[in-house]
Amino acid sequence: MRYFPLFVDLDKADVLVVGGGEEAARKVRLLIKTGARITVIAERLGLELDQRRRDGELLHIARRPTPADLDGQRLIYAATGDRELEAALFRAARARGIPINVVDTPELSTFITPAIVDRDPVVVAIGTEGAAPVLAREIKTRLESWLPANLGALARRALSLRNLVASRVPNAAARRRLWERLLGGAFRRAVLGGEADAARRILIAELADANAPLVGRVALIGCGPGDPDLLTLKALQRLQEADVLVVDRLVDARILDYARRDAERIFVGKTPGGPATVQAEINRMLVAAARAGKVVVRLKGGDPLIFGRAAEELAALAAAGIAVEIVPGITAAQACAARLRLPLTVRERVRQLSLVTGATADGTPDLDWGALTSPTAAAAIYMGIANAPLLRHNLLAAGVPGDTTVIIVENGTTAKERTVTTSLSDLTHAIAELRIAGPAVLFVGLDWQAAQLEQPAGVELYRRRPLGQRPPITADITVRAETQP
SS (H, E, C) 426-467: CHHHHHHHCCCCCCEEEEECCCCHHHCCCCCCCCEECCCCCH
Mean pLDDT (the chain) is 91
Residue 5: asked if its preceding bond is cis (omega within 30°), the reply is no
Q: Which of 46-55, 215-224, 457-466 has the lowest mean pLDDT?
A: 457-466
Q: Which pLDDT score, from 0 to 100, does residue 335 have?
A: 95
Q: Which pLDDT score, from 0 to 100, does residue 157 have?
A: 96
Q: Of residues 69, 243, 248, 303, which has the active-site annotation?
A: 248
Q: Which pLDDT score, from 0 to 100, does residue 209 have?
A: 92
Distance separating alpha carbons of residues 91 and 84, to the nearest angstrom: 11
Confidence band of 364 (pLDDT split at 50, 70, 90): low
Q: Are 252 and 416 in contact (CB under 8 A)?
A: no
Distance separating alpha carbons of residues 436 and 417, to the nearest angstrom: 11
Share of the chain above pLDDT 70, in %: 94
Q: List pLDDT tens digits, range 404-439.
A: 999 999 999 999 999 999 999 999 999 999 999 979
Radius of gyration of the chain (CA): 31
Confidence band of 273 (pLDDT split at 50, 70, 90): low
The mean pLDDT of 156-180, rounded to a whole number, is 94
**Is the pLDDT reported for residue 83 higher than 50?**
yes
Confidence band of 272 (pLDDT split at 50, 70, 90): low
**Is the pLDDT reported for residue 210 higher than 90?**
yes
**Is the pLDDT reported for residue 468 higher than 60?**
no
- Name the nearest CA neighbour of 213 among 186, 177, 245, 185: 177
Distance separating alpha carbons of residues 253 and 256, to the nearest angstrom: 6
Confidence band of 337 (pLDDT split at 50, 70, 90): very high
Confidence band of 373 (pLDDT split at 50, 70, 90): confident
Q: Which pLDDT score, from 0 to 100, does residue 131 have?
A: 85
- 196 conformational bin, left if phi > 0, alpha if psi -120 to 50, beta if neither: alpha
Full DSSP string of 174-243? HHHHHHHHHHHSHHHHHHHTT-HHHHHHHHHHHHHHTTSPP--EEEEEE-BSS-GGG--HHHHHHHHH-S
**Is the pLDDT reported for residue 480 higher than 60?**
no
Distance separating alpha carbons of residues 226 and 301, to the nearest angstrom: 7
Question: Which of helix, strand or coil describes residue 474?
Answer: coil
Q: Which pLDDT score, from 0 to 100, does residue 484 have?
A: 45
Q: What is the DSSP letter of 73?
A: -
- Name the nearest CA neighbour of 485 among 330, 339, 359, 336: 359
**Is the pLDDT reported for residue 372 higher than 90?**
no
DSSP-H helix ranges across 346-426: 388-397
Longest dimension (CA), the chain: 92
Q: Which pLDDT score, from 0 to 100, does residue 257 have?
A: 94
Taken in order of first residue, the domains within the chain and their CATH numbers are: 14-113 (3.40.50.720), 151-209 (1.10.8), 217-330 (3.40.1010.10), 334-469 (3.30.950.10)
Distance separating alpha carbons of residues 199 and 345, to the nearest angstrom: 53
Where in 248-392 does DSSP place strands (E)? 264-267, 295-300, 323-327, 352-357, 377-382
Q: What is the DSSP letter of 92?
A: H
| Residue 270 is a catalytic residue | yes
**Is the pLDDT reported for residue 470 higher than 70?**
no
The mean pLDDT of 65-86, rounded to a whole number, is 96
Write the CA distances from 238 to 268, 330, 390, integer angstroms.
19, 16, 40
Confidence band of 283 (pLDDT split at 50, 70, 90): very high
Count the Cβ atoms, other than its own, within 10 Å of residue 342: 23
Q: Which pLDDT score, from 0 to 100, does residue 421 have?
A: 96
DSSP-H helix ranges across 33-109: 47-54, 83-96
Q: Which pLDDT score, from 0 to 100, does residue 466 have?
A: 61
**Is the pLDDT reported for residue 356 higher than 90?**
yes
**Is the pLDDT reported for residue 308 higher than 90?**
no
Q: Which pLDDT score, from 0 to 100, does residue 471 have?
A: 47
Backbone φ, ψ for residue 276 (5° rounding): -150, 145
Q: Which pLDDT score, from 0 to 100, does residue 363 have?
A: 62
**Is the pLDDT reported for residue 467 higher than 90?**
no
Distance of CA 5 to the CA centre of its chain: 18
Write the CA distances from 483 to 168, 207, 271, 361, 474, integer angstroms.
49, 48, 7, 8, 23
Confidence band of 269 (pLDDT split at 50, 70, 90): confident
Q: Are 88 and 76 in contact (CB under 8 A)?
A: no
Instruction: Report the C-alpha dihedral over residues 102, 108, 112, 115, rounded to 10 degrees.
Output: 50
Question: Which of helix, strand or coil describes residue 380?
Answer: strand
The mean pLDDT of 78-97, rounded to a whole number, is 96
Q: Are 19 and 42 in contact (CB under 8 A)?
A: yes
Share of the chain above pLDDT 90, in %: 81
| Residue 33 is a catalytic residue | no
Q: Which pLDDT score, from 0 to 100, does residue 277 have?
A: 86
Q: Which pLDDT score, from 0 to 100, does residue 250 have?
A: 87
Q: Which pLDDT score, from 0 to 100, does residue 280 have?
A: 94
- Name the nearest CA neighbour of 15 among 120, 34, 6, 4: 34
Q: Of residues 27, 270, 294, 300, which has the active-site annotation?
A: 270
Q: Which pLDDT score, from 0 to 100, does residue 180 have?
A: 92
Q: Are 440 and 410 in contact (CB under 8 A)?
A: yes
Q: Which pLDDT score, from 0 to 100, does residue 347 have?
A: 86
**Is the pLDDT reported for residue 449 higher than 80?**
yes
Q: Which pLDDT score, from 0 to 100, does residue 359 have?
A: 80
Write the CA distances from 373 to 282, 393, 396, 445, 450, integer angstroms.
38, 13, 9, 9, 17
